[in-house]
Amino acid sequence: MSLLQLKNYINGKWVGSANPETIPNINPAKIDETLCVSPQSTREEARAAVAAAKEAFPKWKETPSPVRAKILFQAWQIMQSRAAELAETLTKEEGKAIGDSRGEVQRALNILEFTAGEGRRLRGSTIPSELPRTFIYTVRQPIGVVSLITPWNFPVAIPIWKIAPALVSGNTVVFKPAELTPFCAFKITEIFEQAGLPAGVLNLILGKGSVVGEEIVNHPDVHAISFTGSNDVGCAIYEKGSKRGIRVQCEMGGKNPVVVLEDADLELAVEGAVQGGFGSTGQRCTAASRVVLQESIADRFVEMLQKRMDSIVIGNGLESGVFMGPAVDEKQMNTVLRYIELGKNEGARLLKGGNRLRGSGFDRGYFIEPTLFDHVTSEMKIAQEEIFGPVVSVLRAKTFEECVEIANSVPFGLSASLYSQDIAKCMRFVEVAEVGKVHLNSPTIGGEAQAPFGGTKATGIGPREMGTEVFEFYTEVKTVYVDYTGQKRKTSMY
Ligand code: UN1
């Protein structure tokens, strides 16, 4: 059987690349299974995608936002009917457990639903004037062609949380997914095509970041870029975009803490640490990679956590009961294993895991044991750098204040959890945690469609994603002064 060859989608047509070289799309749980092959598109093809988006823009901009939104609702319906298929593709392509994939597809559906609803609102404001018979108001207008560059770890939800608001706002899109997850991107694009999106409004370009990614970042006809991924790439994109004076939004790394105080419900907190630390194999920017414990409960908590880790089922995400799938590819697996070695050399105490899983079933994939380090200190690299794997570091502190200091002692600022029954401590934590979102008595992960998502410090550049806040990025505000005196102004405050 010949392998499916993915294509680019440019100006409403599926087109192959002129470059005969392809990238095989491999199932990380069964590396002898190639799902499809995707093109290594050329710079010219990336430019063609931008040109199509530019050409489609004037008409799409003129389409009223409630009408644009109807196409999104249509996409929502189609995605709903293809939800099971999409979740299976996600698990095969990225490796996460099928329950997580279903959850991710549901999240994408929620975002589509919420964002489509915003097409009927997309409100501006009315503003009082200091002058008589003058009316000031604002309208939201699209920016133009936007480039959306998305990562492999949430290959359904993240594209949707960029594409949906970009489109409903009236922008046209060039969408470049990670090289590791083109299949989900292909299906998402197909869904928008089936929903009746006009040609050129959404264009998919598959290929390398260093080739097509660079082209759609530097292209003079691109007026905004939204990126989720690593700090190195995000900061380079920001530098290039800011030189051209365009908008850039970047969602990057995290080193998220779960802080557990002595009055916490420990069972709940252990569960939060497991879900946050090992869920999705730790391959998420909201992963709880640090657990900060108040000394008095630390030994007990660590014991409970180790016991709970024994029940983590690892394997092919399609199999029922599996909680944790493989690393996404060999490179990612090796990065994680290198960090584990580093942790040992830095003097952290390895309590559990630390190895690649071998033996029946595991040899066919990139599986790593859930790994726990204790007695980690803030200066250690494993406590500072994003590992993006199933590795959790325990740090200990005497007081609440010290716990907070440790929680904040990293360059990133995405998410933080506090487990405590003490309302005063909870409220204080909300105030002082240097992050974009706080979870009280729940894990660091996840987010709802109608709430803003994003981080502070080195995590985020630009406005938040999701919620109504997302329109701060995807629209320009135009301020309108209407003078209905019909007269030359006699007075002015200035
Ligand atoms: C989540 O925690 O469910 O790339 C979402 C990431 C984040 C999304 C995390 N931007 O992992």
What pLDDT does 489 receive? 73
Nearest atom of ligand 1 to the alpha carbon of 104: 3
Pair type for strands 145-149 and 172-176: parallel
**pLDDT of the residue at 150:** 98
Half-sphere exposure of 249 (CA within 13 A, CB side): 26
Pairing verdict, β 415-419 and 134-142: unpaired
Residue 205 near ligand 1, beta carbon < 6 Å:
no
Is the minimum distance from the CB of 339 to ligand 1 under 6 angstroms? no
Distance (Å) from CA 285 to ligand 1 centroid: 5
Compute, in angstroms, the gap from residue 79 CA to the centroid of ligand 1: 20
| Cβ-contact 260, 293 below 8 angstroms | yes
Ligand 1 centroid – CA 154 distance (Å): 7
CA distance 26 to 38: 11
The residues of the chain scoring below 50 in pLDDT are none
345 Ramachandran zone, left/alpha/beta (phi>0; psi -120 to 50) = alpha
Q: Which of 101, 154, 281 has most ligand 1 atoms within 8 Å of CB, for mutation?
A: 154
CA distance 71 to 173: 15
Tokens of 185: 């991107």
- Residue 53 Cα to chain centre, angstroms: 24
CA dihedral 226, 228, 230, 233 (to 10 degrees): -20
Cβ of 103 below 6 Å from ligand 1: no
Residues 6+ apart with CB under 8 A from 203: 8, 9, 10, 11, 49, 50, 52, 53, 172, 173, 174, 175
Contact 444, 258 (CB under 8 A): yes
For the chain, what's the residue count? 494
Taking each helix axis from N to C end, the angle separating 400-407 and 423-432, rounded to the nearest 10 degrees, works out to: 30
The overall longest dimension of the chain from CA atoms, in Å, is 87
DSSP letter (8 states) at residue 113: H
Cβ–ligand 1 distance for 256 under 6 Å, the answer no
What is the Å distance from ligand 1's center to 228 Cα? 9
Indicate if ligand 1 lies below 6 Å from the C-beta of 154. yes
384-416 burial string, b = 16+ CB within 10 Å, else e? ebbbbbbbbbbbbbeebeebbebbbbbebbbbb
| Ligand 1 contact via 415 beta carbon (within 6 Å) | no
Active site members: 251, 285
**Would you say the C-alpha torsion 462, 287, 98, 32 has a positive or negative sign?**
positive
Tell me if residue 173 falls in helix, strand or coil.
strand
Q: Which of 286, 294, 293, 292 is nearest to 255 (CA)?
A: 286
Mutate to test the pocket of ligand 1, among 250, 284, 459 (most ligand atoms within 8 A of CB): 284
Per-residue pLDDT, 258: 98
Residue 278, ligand 1, Cβ within 6 A: no
Cα–Cα dist 220/218, whole Å: 6
Looking from the CA of 39 toward its CB, the CA atoms found within 13 Å total 23
First to last CA, the chain: 77
**H/E element, 190:** helix 182-194
pLDDT for the residue 492: 58
Exposed e or buried b for every residue in 185-196, given b needs 16+ CB within 10 A? bbbbbebbbebe
Ligand 1 atom nearest to CA at 415 = 2
Decide: pTM greater than 0.85: yes
The finding on whether 453 has its CB within 6 A of some atom of ligand 1 is no
228 lines ligand 1 (CB under 6 A): yes
251 alpha carbon to ligand 1 midpoint, in Å?
9
Expressed in angstroms and rounded, the spacing between residue 90 Cα and the centre of ligand 1 is 15
Q: Which of 252, 258, 285, 412 to mutate to test the pocket of ligand 1 (most atoms within 8 A of CB)?
A: 285
189 lines ligand 1 (CB under 6 A): no
**Encoding tokens for residue 129?**
């004037």
HSE toward the beta carbon, residue 355, CA cutoff 13 A: 6
Give the residue whose CA is nearest to atom 3 of ligand 1. 446
Please give the pLDDT value at position 57: 99
The CA radius of gyration of the chain, in Å to the nearest whole number, is: 24
Q: How far are the Cα atoms of 111, 128, 259, 366, 401 from residue 397, in angstroms, in the given order? A: 39, 53, 10, 35, 9
Question: What's the pLDDT at 306?
Answer: 98
